[in-house]
Amino acid sequence: DSGVTQTPKHLITATGQRVTLRCSPRSGDLSVYWYQQSLDQGLQFLIQYYNGEERAKGNILERFSAQQFPDLHSELNLSSLELGDSALYFCASSVDESETQYFGPGTRLLVL
């Protein structure tokens, strides 16, 4: 158990819908990262927050957005969902940006 929690574990929804994925980092970690992993693909970095502020953006679509709240938990919002958005979404946290990242168990999203 890495100490990072993600909810929900599984999510099934329809195209065009909007969903919110939630992540609680390890205690003491200020940095939160979101990754997308499609079938047999590598980890695609989406976005990073550090202590409530956006720090880096990767290949994140405009339909996706995220935020980190004062209690440091983070939410990833996915809207106008398409079939291709079906993937495993991981959240990771670290004490600092260049430090080891600890991954949550992931949220498996299936868009039908």
Task: Indicate the residue among 82 and 97 with the shorter CB distance to other proteins.
Answer: 97
Residue ranges in 74-93 that form contacts with other proteins under rule CB under 8 A: 88, 90
Question: With b meaning 16 or more CB within 10 Å and e meaning fewer, what string describes 92-103?
Answer: bbbeeeeeebbe
Q: Does 25 bind other proteins (CB under 8 A)?
A: no
Residues 12, 56, 83, 112: which binds other proteins (CB under 8 A)?
Answer: 56
Closest by Cα among 66, 60, 55, 42 to 94: 55
- Residue 63 or 99: which CB sits closer to other proteins? 99
